[in-house]
Amino acid sequence: MKRRYFIFDPEKCIGCFNCLHACKDEHVGNDFSPVALPQKLHQQYWLTTTEHIRGQHPMVDVAYLTEPCGHCENAPCVAEGGGAVIRRPDGVVLIDPERAKGKGDLSRLCPFGKISYNEEQGVSQKCTFCAHLLDEGWKQPRCAQACPLEALRMEYAEPEEMARRAASGELAPLDAAHAACGSALYLKNAARLNTLFLGGSVATGEGPEEVCAENCPVALLRDGAEVQRQRTNAFGEFKFDGLKPGIYQVVISPGEMDRQTDPIELTESRSIGVCRI
């Protein structure tokens, strides 16, 4: 049976927070019972956008992770919610405002911090997938509809189809904990968030005589075997991305003689600085 999924692409997200503001616009001051009571204006977020910085000066990049509730298939909040949290046939997990009243703060039931307590309404709350809109025929929840780059999308798909796309490497779960819960939040281009880069630059001369070595062949070795190869850009820079932690060596081939760095232990994204040839 088809189920609703969130697909998030960190390659596209610019951290504009439109999704979060759209969620606020939809839910603050609006009672969509039985799907949800109004959200608080302040200090309550049904989705988050967090910044992930890789590298240090002079080679830094930033990616964002927008994370709503994963509407998990094996949701602890449903299992332990005492009937206050239900999972619909289309996979949408909802906190029933009536049943949740009097049950206190249920935020402990989500291992991912996606449930929060609204003391103004006296009820725990979380993302509803904008079920009140989807049930009227909307194609996207407000957060995804407001995303200018389509970094966040809802897809209504068969679980087998999603499993096939995950097996092919097109999609990935957020992490092992989300996978174990059967989270319906998948990442595209997950490497942007969960891999490392090793960069640097190649130059000739020193001080005022220094010149960027453009178009210089550079290779990356792991365990003595080449794993990536590229040419330096106009600034003499190279950047090998999508790496796992490990020991690497960089080989620069400006002409007839190769220059090989000492082994580099990569535990976080970094630049090895200027390599002079």
Stretch that binds ligand SF4, among 63-71, 163-171, 218-226, 254-262 (CB under 6 A): 63-71
**Residue from 115, 218, 219, 275 that binds ligand SF4 (CB under 6 A)?**
115
**Residue from 36, 123, 147, 203 that binds ligand SF4 (CB under 6 A)?**
147
Gap between the Cα atoms of 238 and 229, Å rounded: 10
Angle at 174 between CA 109 and CA 162, to 5 degrees: 105
Minimum gap (Å) between residue 152 Cβ and ligand SF4: 4
Is residue 114 within 8 A of residue 127, CB to CB? The reply is: yes
**Residue from 5, 6, 46, 112 that binds ligand SF4 (CB under 6 A)?**
112
Measure Cα distances from 131 to 69, 138, 153, 182 in Å. Answer: 13, 9, 15, 19
Q: Alpha-carbon dihedral of residues 165, 170, 173, 179, nearest 10 degrees?
A: 30
Gap between the Cα atoms of 175 and 183, Å rounded: 10
Is residue 84 within 8 A of residue 125, CB to CB? The reply is: no
Q: Does 152 bind ligand SF4 (CB under 6 A)?
A: yes
**Residue from 6, 18, 125, 219 that binds ligand SF4 (CB under 6 A)?**
18
Q: Does 130 bind ligand SF4 (CB under 6 A)?
A: no
**Residue from 75, 130, 131, 218 that binds ligand SF4 (CB under 6 A)?**
75
Q: Does 154 bind ligand SF4 (CB under 6 A)?
A: no
First-to-last C-alpha distance (Å) of the chain: 61
Q: Which residues bind ligand SF4 (CB under 6 A)?
A: 13-19, 49, 64, 66, 69-72, 75-77, 93, 110, 112, 114-115, 126, 146-147, 149, 151-152, 181
